[in-house]
Amino acid sequence: MPEPIALADAKLAILGLGLMGGSLAMALRGKCALILGADPQERAIIEAKERNVVDRAVKEAGEILPEADIVVLAAPVRAILQLLERLPDLHPGKAVVLDLGSTKTHIARAMQTLPDRFDPLGGHPMCGKEKSSLEYAEPELYRGAVFALTPLERTSERARSLALQIIQATGAHPLWLDPADHDRWAATTSHLPFLLASALVEATPAQAAPLIGPGYLSSTRLAGSSTPMMLDILATNRENILAVLIHYQEIIQDLSSLLAGGDDDRLAKFLSDIPAQRERLMRAKQSGGNA
């Protein structure tokens, strides 16, 4: 059993220096022994060096991984799956492996196949922006956010402790979940909102643009998300997203029927119940889902 390690003594390698990986590096600066970064995009490497985001930034992950005792995979989901496949060849030693992917079931399955010298743990910080590049990274991005953790049966207490230290250092709050539960609930709270925002933009005629106000802007913010990133999410959580999308369509159909039929009483009843339901959801969020 490897000895416990304090975050202050840890050497991190963050693979992916976009919004999430860059923000994590910024939040952890000065809180661990060494922060290394890798990204295949030359622009990200140049900016990481200019902004002093990490101690060393390279394009090839294999150049830094042998030095790391914690590997953070901060890439789109399908890129994370590719990195997990390559990791045994890129890192010859032992390491805790934490990912930041937006879906967890496929990643947990891939983590399970890693050699025993790796200590894997799934993660997903519930924060971000519609812009995904390092340009928009900031050290406070994680502060106050829920950071979901999805351990495997093989995940050690050492890995759990390090993950909690990382979360505490960023100002986020941990939430332990089964990978399948994470994907089921994220389909409703994160992935469906992206599709709804996209549909609303598609449904808006150009002639209506002068009347766009704060409500429309906030409702469609997610439509500006990275298409490759969102395609990865949709592809790796397809069944859950389809289920909530079908349920949403049923609700919209009910509302359409109420409007078409002029049933103002039932429409008013539906609408008047929604603020209380939203308040219950907000209380449940504050209490960790137990309200």
In CATH, what number is assigned to the domain containing residue 88?
A: 3.40.50.720
Domain count, the chain: 2
Identify the band that residue 289 occupies on the pLDDT scale cut at 50, 70 and 90: low
The answer to the question of residue 250 being in a domain is yes
- Decide if 241 contacts 192 (C-beta within 8 A): yes
Which residues sit opposite 174 in a β-bridge? 147
128 pLDDT exceeds 60? yes
Q: Is residue 26 one of the residues assigned to a domain?
A: yes
Give per-residue pLDDT as tens, 259-287.
999 989 999 999 999 999 999 999 998 87
Q: Tens digits of per-residue pLDDT, 73-125? A: 999 999 999 999 999 999 999 999 999 999 999 999 999 999 999 999 999 99
Q: What pLDDT, on a 0 to 100 scale, did the predictor assign at position 290?
A: 43
In this predicted structure, what is the pLDDT of residue 1? 52
User: Would the pLDDT of 2 be above 70?
Assistant: no
Average pLDDT across the chain, whole number: 95
Which residue matches tokens 């390279």? 58
**Residue 82 domain-assigned (yes or no):** yes
Same domain as 61, residue 158: yes
Shared domain check, 243 and 115 = no
Residue 132 CA to residue 224 CA, distance in Å, equals 10
Give pLDDT tens digits for 129-159.
888 899 999 999 999 999 999 999 999 999 9
What span, in angstroms and rounded, lies between the C-alpha atoms of 202 and 178? 35
Confidence of residue 291 (pLDDT cuts 50, 70, 90): very low
Q: Are residues 239 and 133 in the same domain?
A: no
129 shares a domain with 78:
yes
Q: How far apart are CA 147 and CA 171, in angstroms?
A: 10
- Residue 123, in any domain of the structure: yes
| 59 assigned to some structural domain | yes
Domain enclosing residue 94, as ranges:
7-177
What's the pLDDT score for residue 286? 81
